[in-house]
């Protein structure tokens, strides 16, 4: 055997599992298809500022991420929400002060959410984590063999699929998984996989000077929901928005979406918003490591996540599911990624 446990996927759940196993003395090998670690956690860097292109927030009552933040000495900031809320109606007319809910009370990390990923990666054995490692097949012959696109193979006692279930369903399993398991994987929506995020960075957060919070909702678009994205690490200001255009309609239209989003920010926040120093656009539906075509239509509400019975004890327990969507309490969230990693670590160390 090359190792005890192979972890496929270097997002937060996979990295947290590797961290647990390393501290428990369990040998592991982590394989990540992307050229970077973090999965759905991703930031853009401008000078000394970091701006989240994936998840930005965590909340009170999420103990695992709070413990991680304390352990690594990261700095927590509250989502900026002081000032007047903005609303854009179907015609693009802007109104102020309507009582929709902002993200007040949400927590962010100085340096972006990737500061947590960077801290975890820094503590892992660099010889046991591998980027650009694309898995082509997983074999079960009483032990696990994982084949990679570069011709390498890795063997282990067990394997954990720390990737979205729908992405996991595209893997070549030998022998094939039961139809019920394949169906269960395909039926689980990947949280936020059908979404796109737009970030505009400015010299400073001028909307704050104007008494605006940066919070806005729109029925006109292309951004449906907008918030202040300024990083406490920098003097630059930033606004971000979730793109309300469906994934199939925005495919290949990145430049048009960015131009329309800048124009929208100008309507909402004034002339200064029309001249960002940098813009970033992340369409998660176009990331094959995150989304499949089934994710192009996001769920209307937060799914009831957790490990389905059909995905338990696969290959007599040698194959385990390990993405955030498998967490029973905080499924889909960053806390859920840490929850499922914690639970798996207990099982894999026995």
DSSP notation for 134-190: -EEEEEESSSEEEEETTS-EEEEEEEEE-S-HHHHTTSEEESPPPHHHHHHHHHSPP
The residue assigned the tokens 């670690």 is 37
**What would the pLDDT profile of 66-87 be if each residue is shown by its tens digit?**
999 999 999 999 999 999 999 9
The helix or strand, by DSSP H or E, that contains position 15, with its residue range, turns out to be helix 12-24
Please state, for a pLDDT cut of 70, what percent of the chain lies above it. Answer: 100
CB 73 within 8 A of CB 111: no
On average, the pLDDT of the chain sits at 97
64 HSE (CA, 13 A, CB side)? 19
Q: Round the CA-based radius of gyration of the chain to a whole number and report it.
A: 21
Task: Tell me the residue length of the chain.
Answer: 350
Structural domains of the chain sorted by starting position, each given as residue range(s) with its CATH number in brackets: 1-41+114-190+302-350 (3.50.50.60), 43-112+194-289 (3.90.660.10)
Specify the 3-state DSSP secondary structure of 331: coil
What are phi and psi for residue 152, nearest 5 degrees?
-75, 160
pLDDT value for 300: 87
The residue assigned the tokens 């369903």 is 169
- How much is the average pLDDT of 35-45? 98
pLDDT-derived band of residue 200, with 50, 70 and 90 as boundaries? very high
CB 57 within 8 A of CB 103: yes
The helix or strand, by DSSP H or E, that contains position 51, with its residue range, turns out to be strand 49-52
* Other residues' Cβ atoms within 10 Å of the Cβ of residue 145: 17
The pLDDT of residue 350 is above 90: no
**What would the pLDDT profile of 4-22 be if each residue is shown by its tens digit?**
999 999 999 999 999 999 9
The residue assigned the tokens 């903005």 is 86
DSSP of 175-221: SPPPHHHHHHHHHSPPTTTT-EEEEEEESS-HHHHTTEEEEEEESS-
CB 7 within 8 A of CB 30: yes
- How much is the average pLDDT of 160-166? 98
- How much is the average pLDDT of 211-224? 97
The pLDDT of residue 100 is above 90: no
Residue 280: strand pairing partners: 199
pLDDT-derived band of residue 173, with 50, 70 and 90 as boundaries? very high
Residue 13, sorted as left (phi over 0), alpha (psi -120 to 50) or beta, turns out to be: alpha
pLDDT-derived band of residue 147, with 50, 70 and 90 as boundaries? very high
**What would the pLDDT profile of 240-254 be if each residue is shown by its tens digit?**
999 999 999 999 999
Residue 226: strand pairing partners: 216, 241
- How much is the average pLDDT of 271-298? 97
The pLDDT of residue 101 is above 80: no
pLDDT-derived band of residue 166, with 50, 70 and 90 as boundaries? very high
The helix or strand, by DSSP H or E, that contains position 109, with its residue range, turns out to be strand 107-109
- How much is the average pLDDT of 115-143? 98
CB 290 within 8 A of CB 279: no
Query: Two tokens at 284?
Result: 């998660």
C-alpha 230/C-alpha 136 separation (Å) is 40
């Amino acid at each position: 055997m090359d190792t005890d446990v192979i972890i496929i996927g270097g997002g937060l759940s996979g990295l947290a599992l590797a961290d647990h196993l390393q501290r428990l003395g369990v040998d592991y090998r982590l394989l990540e298809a992307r050229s970077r670690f973090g999965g759905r956690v991703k930031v853009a860097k401008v000078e000394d500022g970091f701006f989240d292109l994936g998840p930005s927030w965590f909340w009170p009552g999420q103990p695992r991420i709070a413990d991680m933040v304390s352990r690594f000495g990261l700095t927590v900031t509250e989502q900026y929400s002081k000032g007047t809320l903005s609303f854009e109606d179907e015609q693009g007319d802007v109104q102020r002060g309507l009582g929709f809910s902002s993200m007040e009370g949400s927590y962010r990390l100085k340096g972006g959410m990737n500061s947590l990923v960077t801290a975890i990666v820094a503590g892992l054995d660099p010889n046991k984590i591998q980027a650009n490692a694309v898995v082509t097949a997983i074999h079960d012959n009483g032990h696990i063999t994982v084949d990679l696109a570069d011709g390498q193979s890795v063997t282990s006692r067990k394997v954990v699929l720390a990737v979205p279930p729908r992405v996991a369903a595209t893997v070549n399993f030998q022998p094939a998984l039961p139809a019920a398991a394949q169906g269960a994987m395909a039926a689980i929506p990947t949280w936020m996989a059908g979404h796109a995020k737009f970030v505009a960075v400015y010299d400073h957060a001028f909307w704050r000077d104007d008494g605006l919070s940066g919070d806005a909702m729109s029925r006109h678009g292309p951004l449906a929901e907008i918030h202040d994205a300024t990083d406490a690490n920098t003097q630059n200001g930033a606004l971000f928005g979730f793109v309300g255009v469906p994934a199939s309609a925005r495919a290949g239209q990145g430049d048009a979406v960015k131009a329309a989003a800048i124009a929208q920010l100008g309507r909402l926040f004034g002339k200064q918003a029309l001249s960002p120093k940098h813009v970033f656009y992340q369409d998660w539906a176009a990331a094959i490591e995150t989304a499949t075509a089934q994710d192009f239509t996001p769920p209307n509400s937060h799914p009831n996540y957790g490990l389905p019975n059909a995905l338990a004890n696969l290959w007599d327990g040698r194959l385990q599911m390990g993405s955030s969507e498998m967490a029973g309490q905080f499924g889909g969230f960053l806390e859920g990624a840490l929850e499922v990693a914690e639970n798996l670590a207990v099982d894999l160390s026995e």
